[in-house]
Amino acid sequence: MDTRIIVVTSGKGGVGKTTVTANLSARLATEGYSVVAIDADIGLRNLDVVMGLENRIVFNVVDVIEEACKLQQALVRDRRIENLFLLPAAQTRTKEAVNSKQMKELCDSLRGKYDFVIIDSPAGIESGFRNAAAGADEALVVVTPDVSSVRDADRIIGLLESGEKKSIALVVNRVRPAMIRSGKMLGVSDVSDILAVSILGIIPEDDNVVISTNRGEPLTLGSPSPAARAFENIAGRILGRDIPLPDPGSLDEKGLLAGLKKMFGRQGGRG
């Protein structure tokens, strides 16, 4: 089995790294792939909460690295989705508890055993980021369409490129088409142009994300929603399926307005 090891990173905090790690991992697992999600945000763990597995943690990634337990003992198996595992972060330790070499060895020890390893990175461009990225072959850079997020993503992409990642792709999160159309938010293609990295997925701003985060229930298990659909498509593209990117301008036009426009045979607005 060829294991794909992907780090989810961004530079900036609060842009959706943990959300993407949890939901992408869950989606790939519901498609039948074996997935280990690693929380590399040592000291600030929250992937366990977003995945709804916080009550079942016994050991963590630092215990594995320090050989206080075996890897298998630390992996928390999801009860709802077969093949989905979490390797939680330590809460009472700092990121200095691990180094890049150890993280790389840990990732390498998972090769051949699981289809995917998805690593949630802490914010920042310091050692926490370097440790999270050390063992990954591929990187997903999560960015929101605002200037500070794009600037931080630019720094991270530079670091990833010098770290010889096989592939780097963008996930543009919290996209609000109405804001983009009114010129109050960067367009999705502007983000991709500025960063010179191709887009793997576009996730709309969607209250269902907050609801799913608070419930600890992946979107893929909930009722259909725009964000759930976005993660389904991102997983599909990772699996090599030819799924065209949505036109960002059409993201919020699935409801009444889209129906009316079709009726009148018009695409855009007036003028």
Ligand X SMILES: Nc1ncnc2c1ncn2[C@@H]1O[C@H](COP(=O)(O)OP(=O)(O)O)[C@@H](O)[C@H]1O
Find which of ligand X, Mg ion, none residue 210 binds, CB within 5 to 8 Å per kind.
ligand X
DSSP-derived letter for residue 255 is S
Least Cβ distance, residue 87 to Mg ion (angstroms): 15
What is the x/- site pattern for ligand X, positions 139-178, by CB under 6 A? ----------------------------------xx----
Applying CB under 6 A, which part among 8-16, 29-37, 61-69, 254-262 lies near ligand X? 8-16
Q: Which of 9, 18, 149, 212 binds Mg ion (CB under 5 A)?
A: 18
Q: Which of 40, 227, 238, 251 binds ligand X (CB under 6 A)?
A: 227
Looking only at the bridges linking them, the beta strands covering 84-87 and 35-39 are parallel
Which residue lies nearer to ligand X by CB, 71 or 227? Answer: 227
Helix axis angle, 17-30 to 226-238, nearest 10°: 70
For residue 144, is it left (φ>0), alpha (ψ between -120 and 50) or beta?
Answer: beta
DSSP-derived letter for residue 37 is E
User: What string of DSSP letters covers 21-45?
Assistant: HHHHHHHHHHTT--EEEEE--TTS-
Q: What count of Cα atoms within 13 Å lies in the side-chain half-sphere of residue 4?
A: 18
Sorted by sequence, the CB contacts under 8 Å of residue 259 that are 6+ apart come out as none
Applying CB under 6 A, which part among 132-140, 206-214, 241-249, 260-268 lies near ligand X? 206-214
Which residue lies nearer to ligand X by CB, 102 or 213? Answer: 213
Task: Determine if 17 is a binding residue for ligand X (CB under 6 A).
Answer: yes
Q: Which of 19, 25, 131, 233 binds ligand X (CB under 6 A)?
A: 19
Find which of Mg ion, ligand X, none residue 69 binds, CB within 5 to 8 Å per kind.
none
Cα Dmax for the chain: 67
Q: What count of Cα atoms within 13 Å lies in the side-chain half-sphere of residue 78?
A: 29
Chain contacts with ligand X (rule: CB under 6 A): 10, 13-19, 173-174, 203, 205-206, 209-210, 213, 227
